[in-house]
Structure 1
């Protein structure tokens, strides 16, 4: 699976047998960063991810100072491509809109729904949380690679 920025200066690819499942985050930061009602991302193991091309990086510390989110974007067109986070070592969160086949992605969970836009209706078949989801449960739903978690 492959993807990249809008101008084509940066491309990425992941190894895998299927397109990853994604989640939607409705927090205010994600609304601001995406310029939309929510952000959608897939989490994959860092060793399965390869980025080709030069990316710009900016680091955002959390308000409690316990983690840092490293944001990676194309320096030419400023497309936000992916991020890493000190609370999720060895993992990469890829922005869903940067997948070449983004139309094939499935959202299987929603977080920070207390901040969702009032006009947006979330399908009740999918789990959602008013704030952040328990990491083990969210990662099980999206089939994210986490040591010690089973893949049932």
Structure 2
């Protein structure tokens, strides 16, 4: 499957070819709500070595507890493109809203639901966690899909 996308102004673009549908999940944490200016953020978890990224980016990095995160934004319009985290080594957490074909994506899971907006009703039978799941729990839940 070919994935392509980029930032709002067009200065940054990316493409990737992956073997299967991307793992898409919604994060309802307070950081994602603030960063996205919305009630949740939609992410696609993808292998970082499968991407070609073109254009100027800037990095925002931070550490929280034992996790390290590096966020990459367009250096021109500051659209967040992706981040990496020590919780998922070797993976890109792509902002699904930057994909060209984002309308076809459906979240396979929801995390940080303890901060979910009360008016948002999640579909029945979808994996949810009140905070971050362990990588093992996330992988196990996703292996039952499809």
- Shared fold (TM-score, shorter chain, > 0.5): yes
TM-score by length of 2: 0.90
- Which segments of 5 or more consecutive residues in structure 1 lack a partner in the other structure? 144-151
Task: Choose between structure 1 and 2: higher strand proportion.
Answer: 2
Task: Give the SS at the match of 1:14.
Answer: strand
State the Cα distance separating 1:74 from its structure 2 match: 0.5
Contact 1:22–1:142 at 8 Å: present in 2 too? no
- Which segments of 5 or more consecutive residues in structure 2 lack a partner in the other structure? none
Counterpart in 1 of 2:36?
34
Counterpart in 1 of 2:13?
11
Cα distance per residue 1:63-90 (max 9 Å; x no partner): x2x1211000011111100000123221
Counterpart in 2 of 1:95?
95
Q: Bigger CA drift: 110-119 or 124-133? A: 124-133
Q: CA separation in 1, counterparts of 2:141 and 2:94?
A: 16
User: Would the alpha carbon gap of residues 28 and 131 (structure 1) be closer, same or farther in structure 2, given more than 3 Å must change?
Assistant: same
Map 1:36-55 → 2, pairs under 5 A: 36-55=38-57
Task: Give the SS at the match of 1:9.
Answer: coil
User: Would the alpha carbon gap of residues 2 and 142 (structure 1) be closer, same or farther in structure 2, given more than 3 Å must change?
Assistant: farther
Q: CA separation in 1, counterparts of 2:139 and 2:25?
A: 10
Q: CA separation in 2, counterparts of 1:77 and 1:139?
A: 34
Q: Please list every run of at least 4 consecutive aligned residues from structure 1 whose deviation after the TM superposition is greater than 3 angstroms.
A: 139-143
Contact 2:11–2:55 at 8 Å: present in 1 too? yes
